[in-house]
Structure 1
Amino acid sequence: MTGKLYGLGLGPGDPELLTLKAHRILTGAPVVAYPAPDTGPSFARQIAAPYLRADQLEVPIVVPMRVERFPAQEIYDEAAETLARHLDAGSDVAVLCEGDPFFFGSFMYLFERLSGRYETEVVPGVSSMMAAAAALGRPLAARNDVLSIVPGPLDDETMRTRIEAAGAVAIIKVGRHSARIRALIEAMGLTACAGYVERVSLPEQRVMPLSAVPESAAPYFSMILIYKGGEGWNAALSRTTMDGAS
């Protein structure tokens, strides 16, 4: 019999935000795989570290952290075949994914390659978007508000169209695009409606109104939440402090 493949959502960073189900599968799996940069530690492994056992086999999936394109298809092809060997040997494999596996998660590429050959289960995780709203102390959306999720690398014209069409907006992957995005939000007259969160749920988390964010570039793990709906939640932004307390 072959092993079972699991895609485990780990949440935004705080190890206590793992679900009970993810914890059970993580601690029981003989093989644990996770994405890892070619320089520095794996964020997914750091989240799971308190729960890993010494006798578990760890399989890093090395993905280059580059601005320019790299041969991602070949990397996931090779990783899939490596995991397939463990599954064929009868070992269950838990693949770690920060956030949620199917919400911009890297596990989706392994799922595409392996789910047709092996029994597979996806365990959802707490999204950083939900965690950011909690840290900001302002709901994402309510009633009939339309919530749009906008990736930061989008061009200004596309981003403006998406923001204009929504009652609430989550701009993710802000990072090196922060100055351009902030200028667009300012030009649209929405700065007073925008909150900023970086490294949510981690000890170095920062939460503040967008107007208070320094000019320096934001880290990759940062997000801007805009609320334009009919609820009076934006008043909470004025009470938001650097550590997220309201």
Structure 2
Amino acid sequence: MSVGTIYGVGLGPGDPDLMSVRADRLLRNGRHVAFFRKAGRSGQARRIVNGMLHDEVVEFAMEYPVTTEIPVTDPGYNAALSAFYTECTDHLRKLAEAGEDVVVLCEGDPFFFGSFMHLYTRLKDVVPVEVVPAITGMSGAWTATGQPVTWGDDILTVLMGTLPEDMLADAMQRSDAVVVMKIGRHFEKVKSALKRAGKLDAAWLVEYASMPNQTVQRLSEAGDKITPYFSIIVVHGQGRRP
């Protein structure tokens, strides 16, 4: 019996029309589809592909044991996720060894801060694994602002809102263009870092980029709202141009 392939399929920033042709083909023909989600939720990746899956598809929902319940610095956080990824890997490996292909849904691009990477490193030397790249969420966000994010020799830095404020402020100050992801509960800290770096007034807040409920506004006009998980802050570079 031939061994099946695990496909890490990038879905792009959220609009199904922005998927690649290959991603669309794999999704519509896939008999086994796996996706990550928070316990009790349908999962954003699964929502993106509503109406696209085969009638006889077998779905495998991979529910995170923890998300924000304990800090990432807690040893229990890493231990719980490590066991979770190992369990998911075992399930996918058994399907592939039984000759089944499996499509793993990945928001954005699979190799850009995505959970699929943790499956990939555990599977790539055991069964065939292929990655289908996609438009990143940050690309969808800066496109939504209607402005190029970089010009000429601009330096673009991508930062996680989970970083310490001093580190954020330092990196922002040394960059021409900035993208901040994973904001969530770190909203005020990120705003403070941007202010220290002299970039607060130039920052844009994009929520749910390319999705039906997308919003785009200057960060300085966003008030004290707590941004959801699908929020990205963009500071555009203003570098060399003809």
Q: TM-score, normalised by structure 2?
A: 0.92
Match of 2:5 in 1: 4
Match of 2:43 in 1: 42
Measure, in 2, the Cα distance between the counterparts of 1:57 and 1:85.
Answer: 14
Residue pair 1:15, 1:50 contacting (<8 A) in 2 also: no
Cα distance, 1:92 vs structure 2: 0.5
Alignment pair present for 1:137 and 2:146: yes
State the Cα deviation string for residues 157-199 of structure 1 (Å, max 9, x = none).
1111111111111011111111121122223322221111011
- Residue correspondence of structure 1 range 163-182 to structure 2 within 5 A: 163-182=172-191
State the Cα deviation string for residues 82-123 of structure 1 (Å, max 9, x = none).
011110110101100111100011110110111111111100
Measure, in 1, the Cα distance between the counterparts of 2:165 and 2:141.
Answer: 23
SS of 1:72's equivalent in the other structure is: helix
Letter in 2 for 1:111: Y
Alignment pair present for 1:13 and 2:14: yes
The structure 1 segments of at least 4 consecutive aligned residues displaced by more than 4 Å after TM superposition are: none
Residue pair 1:141, 1:168 contacting (<8 A) in 2 also: yes
Measure, in 1, the Cα distance between the counterparts of 2:165 and 2:69.
Answer: 19
Cα distance, 1:227 vs structure 2: 2.4
Residue pair 2:85, 2:119 contacting (<8 A) in 1 also: yes
SS of 1:35's equivalent in the other structure is: strand
Alignment pair present for 1:189 and 2:214: no
Match of 1:62 in 2: 63
Residue pair 2:170, 2:197 contacting (<8 A) in 1 also: no
Letter in 2 for 1:129: M
Cα distance, 1:231 vs structure 2: 5.7
- Residue correspondence of structure 1 range 203-242 to structure 2 within 5 A: 203-230=212-239
Q: TM-score, normalised by structure 1?
A: 0.90
Which 5+ residue runs of structure 2 have no aligned equivalent? Answer: none
Measure, in 2, the Cα distance between the counterparts of 1:189 and 1:109.
Answer: 36
Measure, in 2, the Cα distance between the counterparts of 1:227 and 1:107.
Answer: 29
Letter in 2 for 1:9: G
Residue pair 1:5, 1:93 contacting (<8 A) in 2 also: yes
State the Cα deviation string for residues 38-73 of structure 1 (Å, max 9, x = none).
121111111112211220111111113334153000
Residue pair 2:35, 2:105 contacting (<8 A) in 1 also: yes
Residue pair 2:173, 2:198 contacting (<8 A) in 1 also: no
- Give me the identity figure in percent: 35
Match of 2:26 in 1: 25
Residue pair 1:195, 1:210 contacting (<8 A) in 2 also: yes
- Residue correspondence of structure 1 range 53-92 to structure 2 within 5 A: 53-64=54-65, 65-68=67-70, 69=72, 70=77, 71-92=80-101
Measure, in 2, the Cα distance between the counterparts of 1:56 and 1:89.
Answer: 16
Which 5+ residue runs of structure 1 have no aligned equivalent? Answer: 233-246
SS of 2:49's equivalent in the other structure is: helix
